[in-house]
Amino acid sequence: MSIITKLALAASLATALSSAALAQDISGKVVGFSQIGSESGWRAAETSVTRQEAEARGVDLKFADAQQKQENQIKAIRGFIAQGVDAILVAPVVATGWDEVLTEAKEAEIPVVLLDRGVDAPEDLYLTSVASDQVEEGRVAGQWLVDTVGAEDCKVVELQGTVGSTPAINRKQGFEEAIAGHDNITIARSQTGDFTRSKGKEVMEGFIKAENGGADICAVYAHNDDMAVGAIQAIKDAGLKPGTDILVVSIDAVPDIFTAIAAGEANATVELTPNMAGPAFDVLAAYWADGTEPEKFIITESKLYTSADDPAGEYERRKDLGY
């Protein structure tokens, strides 16, 4: 199945889900949300999108910021149980140590939905988990490159995330899976840019020197948008045109990359959606309506954005989310 049909299917599925949710009115329900904290721009955006999604559905959202501590999350969940909320959303800070508090929630018959990360606990203790598929993100980025360069030879340089981090490992794996079998595309160099702009720029400068002043590089694949923004500056400093001389593809879809795409300096980004709460509210609506048990793992869509997807508009939509 090609990526396009997959995306189309996912999109129609999403439409079906959201229209189902509109049919079932969940306004007036009280939902507790235990958020990890606000350590990154994406996390802040997730919090604002969750509030928006709750407001759009008329849900009364009780928000608790755990400031990166599991004990705070456990306290918050116990608080929600004591208040008798209708459901609880948790973005768990770590994977272990949840059995006890999840059991308490189950005994109180409050459904729990995990957002963004999983936990090591028996599956019957929570309703479902909503998360992105990081390998798929890499795959979508790789597939975009495969479709774009066609049969031409293409030397790719890769800016990895922090060495050993899960997103770096998964996004690398997905990209390699997508380009496997296309011998015209090779990863010539791969180094870590630590997910930061300045390291992304520094590493790209090195790559350009090492690859014949950048003339040999056909594309740069960055594990996140921030490194891509740094790389774009390095490409410009070397007297080349990012987006034309060197293709730029990255992951996350933060506002600044849309500015670059709109200016023609970046080509594509794969969205790590901050909207984990929307699908969570949808399954809760179905569960409350007729007891529908959702699947245990709901994977959010890894949507590809290019210059054809109104980058200026996407920037406007995202700039106030807290990225």
Partner 1 sequence: MMRRILGQLANPQLLALAGVLLINWLLFPNFFRITWQDGRLFGSLIDVLNRGAPVAILAIGMVGVIATKGVDLSVGAVMAMAGAVAATLVVAGYPAPIAVAAALTVGLLCGLWNGFLVAVLDIQPIVATLVLMVAGRGIAQLITQGFIVTFNDPVLIFIGTGSFLGLPMAAVIAIVLLVIVTLLVRKTALGLFIEAVGVNRAAASLAGIRSRMLLLYVYGLSGLCAAIAGIIVAGDIRGADANNAGLWLELDAILAVVIGGTSLLGGRFSVPLAVVGAIIIQAMNTGILVSGFPPEFNLIVKAGLIFLVLIIQSPLAGRLFPARLRPVQEARK
The residues binding partner 1 (CB under 8 A) are 38, 40-41, 44, 160, 163-164, 189-192, 194, 196-199, 201-203, 205-207, 209-210, 213, 226, 229-230, 233, 237-239, 256, 322-323
For partner 1, the closer of residues 24 and 190 by Cβ is: 190
Distance CA(278)–CA(298), nearest Å, equals 12
Q: How far is the CB of 319 from partner 1 (least distance, A)?
A: 10
HSE (CB half, 13 Å, CA atoms) of 248?
34
Q: How far is the CB of 249 from partner 1 (least distance, A)?
A: 19
For partner 1, the closer of residues 113 and 185 by Cβ is: 185
For partner 1, the closer of residues 77 and 227 by Cβ is: 227
Q: How far is the CB of 30 from partner 1 (least distance, A)?
A: 28
User: How many angstroms from the chain centroid is the CA of residue 131?
Assistant: 8
Which residues sit opposite 189 in a β-bridge? 157
For partner 1, the closer of residues 158 and 271 by Cβ is: 158
What one-letter code names the amino acid at 147? D
Q: How far is the CB of 171 from partner 1 (least distance, A)?
A: 14
Q: How far is the CB of 46 from partner 1 (least distance, A)?
A: 13
Q: How far is the CB of 233 from partner 1 (least distance, A)?
A: 7
For partner 1, the closer of residues 160 and 275 by Cβ is: 160
**Sheet of strand 297-299, all strands in order from the earlier edge strand to the far edge:** 60-65, 30-35, 87-90, 112-115, 128-131, 297-299
For partner 1, the closer of residues 256 and 271 by Cβ is: 256
For partner 1, the closer of residues 89 and 159 by Cβ is: 159
- Per-residue tokens: 47: 């919090």
Q: How far is the CB of 315 from partner 1 (least distance, A)?
A: 12
